[in-house]
């Protein structure tokens, strides 16, 4: 393996640049642009493991399944997670392969359909909080709520459906992922946080109705692989405190102590920025040297220290 290893997490929402037009063609454009920036990292000597979100895509497929239930069988949430790992992984594989070849770099990019183990008694199953699907008006959300959905207002951006989001405790395919990276493959893994699985009373793995936060899963895999850097790519260039308020302040850097203080003060919205800060804090407090939060167009500038929000030990 050549160069330092970075885990790069791409947000599912950042693959849909126009929420009013979430068509696949637009997602392709966003994926191709993001892969140009990742290819620049590889050209600059970094090795990377790429992860991605899938919240909007899972929500769309789940709704499509519900609407077609009178014609065909519905699709369980764990299989939808597997579907999106394959589909988004394919888009990333193809786009990153093309971007690398344009730079004269011959590397094999592949996706590992990844299972992430959670605990069956995780309290999150009783408190759904992970947004999936597109944004809705409150009127639309209340209508779906009457059909049995759990809905929440999502950080001032609109209303969304939510499902359980248990804490990831183990990456089932970690040894295979590590072996691939050591042998110079560019790996895409834990898409959407991984397919959530639990051990039943016989010790067998079984899928469960949940969606794992991809940032927490990326932090876990970055810890397992002893990554030199965790990058969480999202829809904003920098993290802000007092977000959307007159005294909003963008942050260049946070120490672990400062990040914990801001979290305790409620500066980061659950289901939005909070999981990203928690993931970054967990990575750094477990020995990771540096975490960066920024948007895809600014990856190179953030690596150079010119933008983004850096989370450092102290």
Q: Which residues are catalytic?
A: 12-13, 130, 214, 276
Spatial contact of 12 and 53, defined as CB atoms under 8 Å apart: yes
Rounded (5°) CA angle 282-283-286: 80
Rounded (5°) CA angle 44-47-49: 130
Packed helices 24-43 and 77-102: angle between N→C axes, nearest 10 degrees: 50
β-pair type (186-188, 47-52): parallel
Name residues whose C-beta falls within 8 Å of residue 27's C-beta, 6 or more positions apart in sequence: 15, 16, 91
Spatial contact of 157 and 131, defined as CB atoms under 8 Å apart: no
β-pair type (291-294, 253-255): unpaired
Report the half-sphere exposure of 82 (CA within 13 A, side-chain side): 11
Alpha-carbon distance of 6 to 226, in angstroms, equals: 9
């Amino acid at each position: 393996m050549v160069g330092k290893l970075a885990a790069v997490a791409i947000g599912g929402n950042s693959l849909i640049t126009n929420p009013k037009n979430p068509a696949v063609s637009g997602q392709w454009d966003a994926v191709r642009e993001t892969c140009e920036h990742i290819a620049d990292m590889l050209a600059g000597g970094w090795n990377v493991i790429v992860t991605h979100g899938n919240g909007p895509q899972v929500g769309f497929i789940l709704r499509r399944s519900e609407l077609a239930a009178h014609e065909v069988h519905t699709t369980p949430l764990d299989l939808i997670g597997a579907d999106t790992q394959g589909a988004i992984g394919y888009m990333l594989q193809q786009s990153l392969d093309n971007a690398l070849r344009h730079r004269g770099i011959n590397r094999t990019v592949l996706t590992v359909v990844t299972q992430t183990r959670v605990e069956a008694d995780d309290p999150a199953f009783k408190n759904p909080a992970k947004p999936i699907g597109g944004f809705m008006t409150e009127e639309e959300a209340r209508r779906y709520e009457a059909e049995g959905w759990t809905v929440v207002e999502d950080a001032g951006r609109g209303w969304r459906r939510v499902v359980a989001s248990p804490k990831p405790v183990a990456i089932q395919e970690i040894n295979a992922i590590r072996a691939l990276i050591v042998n110079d493959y560019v790996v895409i893994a834990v898409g959407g946080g991984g397919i959530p699985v639990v051990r039943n009373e016989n010790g067998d793995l079984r899928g469960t109705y949940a969606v794992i936060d991809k940032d927490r899963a990326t932090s876990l895999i970055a810890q397992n692989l002893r990554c030199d850097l965790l990058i969480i790519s999202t829809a904003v260039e920098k993290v802000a405190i007092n977000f959307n308020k007159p005294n909003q302040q963008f942050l260049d850097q946070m120490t672990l102590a400062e990040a914990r203080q801001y979290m305790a003060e409620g500066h980061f919205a659950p289901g939005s920025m909070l999981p990203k800060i928690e993931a970054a804090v967990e990575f750094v407090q477990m020995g990771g040297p540096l975490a960066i939060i920024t948007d895809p167009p600014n990856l190179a500038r953030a690596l150079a220290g010119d933008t983004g929000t850096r989370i450092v030990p102290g």
